[in-house]
Amino acid sequence: MTLSVIIITKDEEAHIAACLDSVAFADEIIVVDSGSSDRTCEIARGKGARVVSTSDWPGFGPQKNRALDLATQDWVLSIDADERVTPELARAIQQAIRQPQAEAYEIARLSNFCGRWIRHSGWWPDYVLRLFKRGAARFTDAAVHERVVPQGRVARLGAHFLHYPYADMQALISKVNRYSTDAALMMYAKGRRTSIPGMVGHSIWTFIRIYLIRKGFLDGREGFILAVTAAAGSFFRYAKLYFLGRGQ
């Protein structure tokens, strides 16, 4: 059995080399880039990846399906540039495709925020379906928060990704702003509308869910910062939806 790795990128110069090194055991690596202005594509080609550039940005789901359509091997592993496959996970993947017990596999992610591994706050184990037989799954067409829709049995691997989503607060805030815009547009297109009490209520509930219910307080100061930032992101998302509803 053979393995294709698919990655979508934009301006991932800081991450792409380590990401590609971690999946060097794959038979094929495909990078679909949406207009990077840094050295992402150059680095990826230097690591032996097949790099395809696109001139538009259709959203995360459609872009990942573009990458999936380029894969040619028996199995596909979808990985983000800010993720790493550990040696233990590499062995688990190779074992799973040699002797498959399912058509798709979920993999846990252990995420790092500003130097701290986050084990609460809803961040761990954070299972994501990323390994599947080619032809047995596709991504949804969602602009953000896309997911893999599999056909057949789904199992879980015993090892996990390492995930480095935010190098600092600036990166976190930038991503919150970008995702909140995409989410507001997606909700608006589906006919969703909101009000001032709605945006306040959603943000308060987000903080309570992450910091108290999901025990973010056990992640120390970083857990508090993540809960507040998530609440702010929820507020931004619904505030943007509110103004879209007013035609602004």
**In residues, how long is the chain?**
248
Residue 89: CB atoms within 10 Å: 23
Which of 125, 144, 166 delimits the end of a domain?
166
Q: Kindly state whether residues 147 and 71 are assigned to the same domain.
A: yes
Cβ-in-10-Å burial (0-12, 13-18, 19+) of 246 comes to exposed
Share of the chain above pLDDT 70, in %: 100
Domains: count for the chain: 2
- Determine the pLDDT at residue 144: 83
Q: Kindly state whether residues 75 and 183 are assigned to the same domain.
A: no
Helix (H) / strand (E) containing 121: none
Expressed as residue numbers, the domain containing 82 is 3-166
Average pLDDT, the chain: 96
Rounded to an integer, the average pLDDT of 116-124 is: 96
Each residue of 230-244: pLDDT tens digit?
Answer: 999 999 999 999 999
What CATH number corresponds to the domain at position 85? Answer: 3.90.550.10
Q: Kindly state whether residues 136 and 176 are assigned to the same domain.
A: no
| 5 closest CA partner among 37, 34, 48, 46 | 48
pLDDT band of residue 8 (cuts 50, 70, 90) is very high
Rounded to an integer, the average pLDDT of 64-80 is: 98
Each residue of 20-66: pLDDT tens digit?
Answer: 999 999 999 999 999 999 999 999 999 999 999 999 999 999 999 99
CB distance 52 to 33 below 8 Å: yes
Q: Kindly state whether residues 54 and 102 are assigned to the same domain.
A: yes
Rounded to an integer, the average pLDDT of 11-26 is: 97
Distance CA 119, CA 139 (A): 27
- Determine the pLDDT at residue 203: 97
Q: Kindly state whether residues 54 and 156 are assigned to the same domain.
A: yes
Q: Kindly state whether residues 45 and 136 are assigned to the same domain.
A: yes
- pTM score, whole prediction: 0.88
Q: Kindly state whether residues 64 and 181 are assigned to the same domain.
A: no
